[in-house]
Amino acid sequence: MSYANEMPTLQKVARTDAGLAAELRLSVMRLRRRLASERHPDNELSIPQMGVLGVLYRTADALTVGELAAAERVQPPSMTRTVNCLEETGDVVRRPHETDGRQVVVELSDQGRARVIADRERRDAWLARRLKELTPDERAILRRAAPILEHLAQRD
Amino acid sequence: MSYANEMPTLQKVARTDAGLAAELRLSVMRLRRRLASERHPDNELSIPQMGVLGVLYRTADALTVGELAAAERVQPPSMTRTVNCLEETGDVVRRPHETDGRQVVVELSDQGRARVIADRERRDAWLARRLKELTPDERAILRRAAPILEHLAQRD
DNA sequence: CGGAATCGTTAGCATGGGTAATGAGTTATG
DNA sequence: CATAACTCATTACCCATGCTAACGATTCCG
């Protein structure tokens, strides 16, 4: 393989932290890319829109536009716009904040919740099928690896 | 934690393929998100632009606009546009195809190559630092997990 | 009470996703 | 050889979303 020839040191450097870092970064990026491609063909929402639904679902609570913007690492005007689209499609509901007249809170509609769940289930189903093709030993390794990966991702 | 209370079954279902799939998906998505945030502050290229540089770097060859579009899963007009920007910033060079007068080939400039390398090194350095905080046992697990994750990501 | 801070929104610009259309080049066929 | 069909990149248009600047309304604080 020409790729192997271009990067012959990759196999060796996997024994150092730097080498493992490079290998892990590639694996994670690639798997995420593949997961991202498992979209439901009928789901026409964009990635930022699905991202908002995902944040609301994970938080299991209504959030202000500012909180959503912070969670998704965008500026509030961008989030306003994305939420506008989601309100139009009926996936979220906007309402005034209970105590602060400046704020607006956004929450999942039933439709939006169903959409997140369907999207996740589709990805999980694909991944579960791929996992089935592994050996029990390989699966055991991934079982131990998943929480470590999660830990790596946490804010440092 | 309210999250733990909302999803109490997650800990249990990690013993099934479906449960591992959900846990792994979350870990991978979160780590990738964290990796994506490790951008060099001076790098003003967008994610699609960096994606094109990444494809060219990994391929270690010049590609046509169509090939780039396919690699990045976009339509050719979108790729034309992205390449236009990259040509302006001097990160890629466009030239006519050697034998097919319809085609254009795009290749990394020295500047573009340096940019990809710097971007990767920054992410790898961050990840290597996080890896250093793990135990040797945890690192060994990840060493065994990385190629398995890579295998999962491959086209099925 | 007045000024400063906070919040969400609007406006403008740039990028990039799509589709439709186009012109140029290449290939296949009669 | 001429023509039709196919391929390729590009342009045009629309839409979504990233940013910054600006604004009006609300809240906080001295």
Q: What ipTM does the predicted assembly reach?
A: 0.82
B58 vs A10, which has greater pLDDT? B58
Distance of C1' in C1 from CA in A101, Å: 21
> pLDDT by residue (tens digit) across A52-101?
999 999 999 999 999 999 999 899 999 999 999 999 999 999 999 999 99
At residue B6, what are phi and psi to the nearest 5 degrees? -70, -35
Q: What is the pLDDT of residue B16?
A: 76
Token pair for residue B151? 């295998």
**Is B25 in contact with A156 (Cβ distance < 8 A)?**
no
Which whole number is the average pLDDT over B79-102? 95
Q: What are the beta bridge partners of residue B94?
A: B106
Distance of C1' in D29 from CA in B38, Å: 38
Alpha helices, DSSP H only, in chain A?
Answer: 2-6, 9-13, 17-36, 47-59, 65-72, 76-89, 110-132, 136-153
**Which among B3, B123, B147 has the least Cβ separation from residue A25?**
B123
Is residue A40 over pLDDT 90? Answer: no
> pLDDT by residue (tens digit) across B116-134?
999 999 999 999 999 999 9
Shortest Cα distance, chain B CAs vs residue A103, angstroms: 24
A18, B124 Cβ separation under 8 angstroms: yes
CA gap B152, A31 in Å, rounded: 7
3-state secondary structure B103-126: CEEEEECHHHHHHHHHHHHHHHHH
A123, B25 Cβ separation under 8 angstroms: yes
Residues 17-76 of B with CB under 8 A from A: 17-18, 20-35, 37, 58, 60, 73
